[in-house]
Amino acid sequence: MYLSFYHLRRKPFDINADPAFLWPGEKQLEVLNAFKYGLLNNKGFILITGDVGTGKTTLVNALLKALKTRTVVCNMPYPNIDEADFYKILIDAYELDFSFTTKGEFSNHFYQFLLDARRQKKRVLLIIDEAQRLSNELLEEIRLLSNMEHHHQKLINIFLIGQNEFNDTLRRQENRAIRQRISYMYTLEPLDMEETRTYIKHRLKVAGSDEELFESAATKLVHEATQGYPRLINILCDQALLTGFVGGKQRVSEDVISESIKDLPIHFENHGKRKSKFLSWRHLFGLMVGLAIMTAGIFLAI
């Protein structure tokens, strides 16, 4: 709706995890480098955690887009499944042609697949997104997969991507074996003020605009309202462009952001209205009434 008004080719702030909009910030590049390091060196387990909306899935999609044909991958975004379904997903994702009736049969066939992939100089990657949904039983099955080695080298790389509470899961005594196998871990934090500014500018540029569409005060309020969470930044900035378009404003001001926050109560209900230097008429009226009552009480007491 607002694309032509702001001279944009596409919407800059969709919440879809589109790797084309990946912002190459320091935190994001560190995660991507961890992925690359893990794959090239067969490091086994890589763990990336972060709060909801910090951009973990976008980084996974960027990794998938960058993978070469010599990497065969299973991307498992919904791991709240049982053991049998887990095996079936692996078979389908890696396009394996075997059946099994016991866990031992599956393990033998899967180990042979990993050996064949190694002979063909291929890397095998298992990505598990939303890892905080994994049961302890499934975590143990994943650990057993990581035990498959050849000449002391890992045959499968496993990247675990989860929300911060997954760290608590791994700290449990029953999960100490898998915890000790993690060769690299990183927690993705929200963006700071400067990162928020460059993030917004980057997405606008990818969408086709080199202009500073967001005023400095507007960007500051975006960061204050979203606390630097990319998903919330996208939601608020998209609404702000719509609000600005409706109001005929070529640049997004602080007032436009404030209005957009009011239009998104579900997302920003905890973002208190900005404290004014002046009392609103409602507060002033209430104060006057209170003083009147207090004064009347004093006179009655006298």
CB proximity list for 124: less than 8 A, separation 6 or greater: 71, 72, 73, 94, 113, 114, 117, 155, 156, 157
Q: Regarding predicted confidence, which is higher, 36 or 281? A: 36
- Give CA–CA dist 45/35, Å, rounded: 10
| Position 181 pLDDT exceeds 60 | yes
Residue 161 pLDDT class (50, 70, 90 cuts): very high
Q: Lowest mean pLDDT: which of 77-81, 118-122, 289-293?
A: 289-293
| Position 293 pLDDT exceeds 50 | no
| Position 162 pLDDT exceeds 50 | yes
Please tell me the predicted confidence (pLDDT) of residue 295.
42
Instruction: List every span in the chain annotated with CATH 1.10.8.
Output: 193-268
Q: What is the pLDDT of residues 44-77, one digit of tens each?
A: 899 999 999 999 999 999 999 999 889 999 999 8
Output the average pLDDT for the chain.
88
Please tell me the predicted confidence (pLDDT) of residue 241.
97
Please tell me the predicted confidence (pLDDT) of residue 112.
96
Please tell me the predicted confidence (pLDDT) of residue 79.
84
Q: Where are the alpha helices (DSSP H) in the chain?
A: 26-40, 56-66, 83-93, 103-119, 136-146, 165-170, 176-179, 193-206, 216-226, 230-246, 254-262, 265-268, 281-301
Please tell me the predicted confidence (pLDDT) of residue 272.
46
Cβ pair 15, 231 in contact under 8 A: yes
Q: What percent of the chain has pLDDT over 90?
A: 72
With 0.75 as the threshold, say if the pTM is over it.
yes
Please tell me the predicted confidence (pLDDT) of residue 169.
92
| Position 196 pLDDT exceeds 70 | yes
Reference 221, options 200, 248, 247; nearest CA is: 200
Distances (CA, A) of 48 to 54, 130, 135, 172, 230: 11, 10, 18, 18, 16
Q: What is the pLDDT of residues 109-151, one digit of tens each?
A: 999 999 999 999 999 999 999 999 999 899 999 999 999 998 8
Please tell me the predicted confidence (pLDDT) of residue 271.
59
Please tell me the predicted confidence (pLDDT) of residue 270.
63
Report, as an integer, the average pLDDT of 167-193.
93
Please tell me the predicted confidence (pLDDT) of residue 298.
37
Please tell me the predicted confidence (pLDDT) of residue 285.
40
- Give CA–CA dist 222/254, Å, rounded: 9
Return the CATH number of 193-268, one of 1.10.8, 3.30.2310, 3.40.50, 1.10.287: 1.10.8
Is domain 42-188 annotated with CATH 3.40.640.10?
no
Instruction: List every span in the chain annotated with CATH 3.40.50.300.
Output: 42-188
- When computed from its CA atoms, the radius of gyration of the chain, rounded to whole angstroms, is 26
Q: What is the pLDDT of residues 95-105, one digit of tens each?
A: 999 989 899 99
Please tell me the predicted confidence (pLDDT) of residue 268.
83
Report, as an integer, the average pLDDT of 197-207.
97
Report, as an integer, the average pLDDT of 37-45.
88
Residue 289 pLDDT class (50, 70, 90 cuts): very low
- Give CA–CA dist 160/48, Å, rounded: 6
Cβ pair 47, 160 in contact under 8 A: yes
